[in-house]
Each structure stands twice: as C-alpha cells, then as structure tokens.
Chain A
Amino acid sequence: DGGITQSPKYLFRKEGQNVTLSCEQNLNHDAMYWYRQDPGQGLRLIYYSQIVNDFQKGDIAEGYSVSREKKESFPLTVTSAQKNPTAFYLCASSMVAANEQFFGPGTRLTVL
C-alpha cells in the first residue's frame, strides 16, 4: 500500500530537549511538507521541500529544522528554541504542480 507514515504517534519531551519526528512516503512524490495544528487555528506550514537537498521555510519555521537527504524522507526536528512545541504535527506530500496533498496520520508532541 502506498502512503505516508509518521512516527512516533505520541511523543513526550522535556523542556530543553531536541526531538525528531519521522515522516516517510512511498508515493514517489517530489514535494513534502510539515504542518503544525493547534485547536481552532487550522494548519500552519512549518517547512516544505520540492526536491531532495532543498527546502524552504514556511510561515512558522522558527525553532524547527528539517533535512531532505532522500526523496522518501523528510524528518522534522523540534529544537529547544521552540517556545511552545506542544501540538499535533502533520506531514504531507504531493506531486509538484499537482496541489493535492496527501497527509500522514500525525504525531502528537507534548512537552512535560
């Protein structure tokens, strides 16, 4: 089955720690995205990548970092600089120029 997987489903972090969220897709999509979802605020774009070894900041990139070493993988690191990281994080992918995005199941991050 083709799709997007995210791991872990739940993640707990102590203040001051960096954590990395995994996102893998086997849809052969060129573009990948990370969104943050908070109640009542919709989805906000953190980072996106259209091609391997290239990525751009979205609307709320501060305190986050990404890499795109492989077409299938787009991990997100939540750094200690992110002041309020507790949220639901969604990864998505699409064919470039197709607009329609396919979403993974999400990772819920909680800071203890």
Chain B
Amino acid sequence: AQSVTQLGSHVSVSEGALVLLRCNYSSSVPPYLFWYVQYPNQGLQLLLKYTSAATLVKGINGFEAEFKKSETSFHLTKPSAHMRDAAEYFCAVSDRAGGTSYGKLTFGQGTILTVHP
C-alpha cells in the first residue's frame, strides 16, 4: 500500500521568501512522485514529477523538488515566493506502471500556501 503525508495543512510566507512544502511518502515499490497545484475552483495542474531519473526535479513557475530515498521525502521548494503562488498544493505517489499495467495515484491532504505582501 502507498500513502502520502503532507506536513502542514497551511503555510504562510512573505513575498520574496523561501517556499518549502513538505511531503513524505510510503511505497512498497520504487515510486513515481508528483506535485500538483490547484487554484480556487479549478482543476489540478502538474508542477513537476519524479520518475527515477535525476533526484532534483525542476518544474514550472520556478518550483523544484528533491527525491530523498533515505528520508522517503519529496519536498517542494521555490527560492522566492510570488503573490501568484498562492494556491493549494498536492503531493501524490504512484506505484510504477509498466507495459499495460495501471499505476494508481494516491494524494496527500493538500497544503494551502498563503503569500503576504
């Protein structure tokens, strides 16, 4: 069974400050890991994904995440927050799919990021 824990349901930062959103996962097989962003009343948009290539993954909008197997973590960071980054962020884990098999996505509870001027 796989699971995801996002530490902190709400994170508040000042504009220009470092953003750090924490995600720890549990998986019985080497996982695929994802970060999605959701703006109010919209669907989810993929920020970045880890699929066993480089452990430091760069995504859109200046975000990046580092896969640390020893810590079972996949924390999301951005060096300098912008007002437009205010949204809800979801970490997700998938067991690997190969060939025609299906990889189910399990989502964390979400972290709401607030950015203050």
Contact = CB atoms under 8 A, between A and B. Distances in A.
B46 interface: yes
A99 B98 contact: no
Contacts of B42: 105-106
Contact of A43 (B45, B98, B107): B107
Contact of B103 (A4, A97, A102, A103): A97
A31 B102 contact: yes
Nearest to A88: B41
What range describes how many residues of A lie at the interface? 20 to 34
Given A96-B102, A99-B51, A42 B43 contact: no
Contact of A104 (B32, B43, B49, B104): B43
Interface in A68-112: 88, 90, 92, 96-106, 108
A19 interface: no
B107 A98 contact: no
B103 A90 contact: no
B2 interface: no
B49 to A, nearest CB: 6
Given A43-B90, A103-B45, A106-B42, A97 B98 contact: yes
A96 B100 contact: yes
A42 B109 contact: yes
B108 A97 contact: no
B24 interface: no
A42 B105 contact: no
B44 A103 contact: yes
B101 to A, nearest CB: 6
A4 B44 CA distance: 12
Given A45-B104, A96-B101, 9 more contacts: A40-B110, A43-B107, A48-B102, A97-B99, A97-B101, A99-B51, A101-B105, A105-B42, A106-B41
